[in-house]
Homo-oligomer: A and B are copies of this chain.
């Protein structure tokens, strides 16, 4: 049987994007650059200043956890593939080739891989970044397969990093590993394409799930409305959309949540004390949704997470996880609040806004971009791939440019 790396490399090399693919690429570029610029003041900017372009741009792009997600593979696709593309001067086609690789490889890795604790954005991300960078460099299908093999040793990362700088840094490492692999393949390095299949087997993946038909990114991408883990978009929107506006948080005495266990897999922080931990806390997200009219950047600071009222509310949350679920939008979430007077309110949600089944409107996107900084809408007007690279280089300058 043909090595999976060769099948995917040939697909990536030959793929001709449709108009819908190019629309998705443009929306991904806008969304990714917006959320990256939104993080310009984050501590991670100084921390990552010595890393190569792709690593630095991806890490900063991911630190707010506001970037897009591919639901079928549970991977953040654009924050890996946009920086890998831009670091070597690529365009929409290079991005789409990597994004398509990441979606397909992520599906081959499967839910069990993610549920086991691997951070699929990194494990599927390194080979995907290799594909984006390889296509940007104009490599042959054979050389793309070599780059994929050279990225395999960097295809790691576990969910225990969630809630620390380690999460966004490991996403940066994955993006950079792909660029490094592509440049080494371009320079003539040899590697065995069957490395991908050997690795897939070791991390619980199944190459038989690879399907190279369909659009560039089968299933599309989910755009986040709230700057936190995707698994929190649904509980937050459930409360914000369906709870009567006159319910006062201070009167709440009990909070019962029922959710499929798969839908809360990444939510590992039950008693968060920092903003980063709050982004991976079901309990805190419910508190924030009850306290803040639109949980935004201000809701995920250390100060916001340690608000006494937020800490009181999050300790009221009792979660019942129903068995099963194979994705972050499996089934539905039910939340019931009890007030001190005995009144009870229940809300349910299946699809949060921004998910492929409820795509964001142009107005939603404009509002999100505006939230990313007062100068961001103007900076992104008429954005294309070449100008995006210049924008990142100007706003996130680094100490070295990587292999050239």
Contacts and interface: CB of A to CB of B under 8 A. Distances in A.
B117 A188 contact: no
Interface string A365-404: 0000000000000000000000000000000000110111
A351 interface: no
A347 interface: no
Interface stretch (A189-197, A215-223, A324-332): A189-197
A110 to B, nearest CB: 14
Contacts of A184: 47-48, 165, 169
B50 A158 contact: no
Interface string A43-61: 1001110110000000000
Contacts of A119: 153
Which of under 10, 10 to 19, 20 to 34, or 35 or more describes the interface residues of A?
A: 35 or more
B189 A169 contact: yes
Interface string A309-329: 000000000000000000000
A403 B156 contact: no
A203 interface: yes
A257 interface: no
Interface string A251-271: 000000000000000000000
Contacts of A170: 150, 152-153
A136 interface: no
B183 A177 contact: no
Given A47-B188, A177-B173, A203-B202, A157 B153 contact: yes
A165 B177 contact: no
Contacts of A164: 149, 190-192
Nearest to A199: B158
A205 to B, nearest CB: 13
Contact of A195 (B166, B177, B199, B400): B166
A371 to B, nearest CB: 25
Contacts of A202: 116-118, 158, 203
A156 B153 CA distance: 4
Contacts of A116: 202
A144 to B, nearest CB: 15
A60 to B, nearest CB: 13
Contacts of A47: 184, 187-189
Contacts of A165: 184, 189-191
Interface string A167-186: 00110011001001001100
Interface of A: 43, 46-48, 50-51, 116-119, 122, 149-150, 152-161, 163-166, 169-170, 173-174, 177, 180, 183-184, 187-192, 194-195, 198-199, 201-203, 276, 399-400, 402-404
30 contacts: A43-B188, A47-B189, A50-B183, A50-B402, A50-B404, A117-B201, A149-B164, A149-B166, A150-B169, A152-B156, A152-B157, A152-B158, A152-B170, A153-B154, A153-B156, A153-B157, A153-B173, A154-B154, A154-B173, A156-B199, A159-B198, A160-B192, A160-B194, A160-B195, A160-B198, A164-B191, A165-B190, A166-B190, A166-B195, A400-B400
